[in-house]
Structure 1
Amino acid sequence: MPMDARNHHLKEDIREYWSKRSETFDLAFGHRIQPGPELDAWTAAIRGALGEAPRRVLELACGTGEVTNVLLSLGHDVIALDFSEAMLKVAREKHAGNERVRFILADAERTMEPDESYDAIVCRHLVWTLTEPEQALADWFRVLRPGGRLLVFDGNWARPTPIGRLALLAVSAVERFVGHDPHYDGAMSERHQAIMGRLPFGEGLTAERLVPLVEAAGFGDIRLMSHRPIAAAQRRTADLRNRLRTLLYRRFILAASRPSATGGRA
């Protein structure tokens, strides 16, 4: 079967999975960005990568518009796209009336946006789902202006860390007393695993695997930043079960730039 045909069916499975989760997505720990310490940590991470000046930002796989909220709070103008109309419906309702954001239905791997039209691209928990990562990175490079920034928040969701394996046991013990959390990713874990097993990063997305692909796409000034401040902020307001969940997987933040005409950064 040709690659495009395989990807078509996989992408439809991905769309269906996330669309089914749209109504309760913000109830799952780690998806809604809570006001207070967590929002402050996200704001600091994005400001540190994109700078203080307002930018024209393309947000990929925006979901219900949580990272959108952070970007808007920093004064950026945002075009936010997602593959799921159900997710976009929630995001549009959340940001109704805000003229600095526009939501569009589109494929993050082939955005169809004009060349060199954005100052920054931001995505959270998208890269691990890419069916053709090289194609996607080439497209993102294309739509960024020279000097534009790429900012990726992601992690290795296939393999818990050594501490994470212990944390999983502890979560199971907690749930014997408080019951199962129906909104966490595990609520559709069989579908999640079936999708993950068919993806290029199905065995786990790591920064070490991603950096060479980003370099090959033409990006420079690649920096890896710690996700620990965000996780620490989440723990400040979470219950025991969710504090344990912040320990499960290795997460990372990757920032890179499209080289400017003079080879410098914007």
Structure 2
Amino acid sequence: MQAFSPLSNHDLRDEIKAYWSRRAETFDAQPGHEIFSEDERAAWHALLRKHLGNGEGRAALDLACGTAVVSHLLDDLGFQVTGLDWSEPMLERARTKAATRGRKIRFLMGDAERTMEPDASYDVITNRHLVWTLVDPLSCFHEWHRVLKPGGRLLVVDGDFVNPSALTRLLKRLASLASHIGLARDALHGAPNPEMAETHNRILSAVYFSGGARSDAVAALLREAGFTKVTIDTDMAAIHRSQRKNFSLLKGLERATQHRFAICAEK
């Protein structure tokens, strides 16, 4: 087996890209990735409206869009959406989904850390579960600041999945046990196989936020990159409640006790 540690930035970024390309096949089968109820869709709409307002034709860039879950939410709200991802398998599914739903979402293959988009070209930038994977977040945040128009807003949705609380650890163990002995259905949600789990852990050990992406640390880097009015929102309860019907009781409670957050910042 090829040794991946220590990884250069180039090798690490290649491995991250390959990992998410392999995850594309099952990405939409997993609750917490795709949306499985109108209650959850409404909860996400409420979060986006709270921080970004209605679209009204404004230009939005959804970074690391994957299969375009957040891109569709933005489109629902009236934004003119561009979804950018560097995984062709993810983009294939994103384009198919948009065609099936009759949505006019523009998709680009590109790197969220080097978008190649023009200066001051977007009113809104969004990303979900991207920041924890970044190799150089400060440089990346400078790039996002460059691409935003003056007065534009960035919305980061992410979490710290490295430092669970004692309650979260207990619930995770109980949920895993219940799934293992057949008392819960969570094992059916397409979790990564052991090889993929090993790759995930290897990537996590090498990225900038290897010790966990805490909201205050992310916010501090956003301010350093020039963003102002940086607001941390940890009230994800409505989204968690709506997702619970797709998880066992224990798994739903575990997710609800994790440090998940949205950060809104302005240029």
Matched, 1:184 2:184: no
Deviation at 1:236? Answer: 4.2
> Among 25, 28, 31, which residue is 1:29 paired with?
31
Confirm or deny: 8 A CA contact 1:37 1:236 kept in the other structure: no
1:262 is matched with which residue? none
1:183-202 C-alpha deviation (Å, 9 max, x unpaired):
12565221110000000101
Q: Which residue of 2 aligns with 1:119?
A: 123
1:159 paired residue among 158, 163, 171: 163
- What residue in structure 2 maps to residue 145 of structure 1? 149
2:98 counterpart residue number: 95
**What residue number does 2:16 align with?**
14
Deviates more, 1:187-196 or 1:198-207: 187-196
The residue aligned with 1:58 is 61
**Cα deviation, residue 6, structure 1:** 1.7
Q: CA deviation at 1:246?
A: 1.7
SS at match of 2:78: coil
1:211 deviation in Å? 1.1
TM-score by length of 2: 0.90
Query: Aligned partners of 2:22, 2:55: CA distance in 1, in Å?
Result: 37
Q: Provide the C-alpha distance between the structure 1 equivalents of 2:40 and 2:247, rounded to a whole number of angstroms.
A: 10
From 228, 242, 249, give the equivalent of 2:237. Answer: 228
Q: Is 1:39 the counterpart of 2:22 in the alignment?
A: no
Q: Could you tell me whether the CA contact under 8 Å between 1:165 and 1:248 is conserved in 2?
A: no
TM-score when scaled to structure 1? 0.90
1:99: how far off? Answer: 5.7
Shift of 1:245: 4.0
User: Which shows bigger deviation, 83-92 or 47-56?
Assistant: 47-56
5+ residue gaps in structure 1? 259-266
Q: Determine the structure 2 residue equivalent to 1:197.
A: 205
Moved over 4 A (4+): none
Give the corresponding residue for 1:264. Answer: none
Q: Could you tell me which amino acid in structure 1 is paired with residue 59 of structure 2?
A: R
Aligned letter for 1:144?
Answer: L
Match in the other structure for 2:4 = none
- Amino acid aligned to 1:256: A
Question: Does the 8 Å contact 2:39/2:242 carry over to 1?
Answer: yes
Q: Distance in 1 between matches of 2:15 and 2:228?
A: 34
Q: Conserved in 2, the CA contact under 8 Å of 1:57 and 1:121?
A: yes
Amino-acid identity (%): 40
The residue number in structure 1 matching 2:3 is none
Match of 2:265 in 1: 256
Deviation for aligned residue 1:248: 5.4
- CA-atom RMSD, angstroms? 1.8
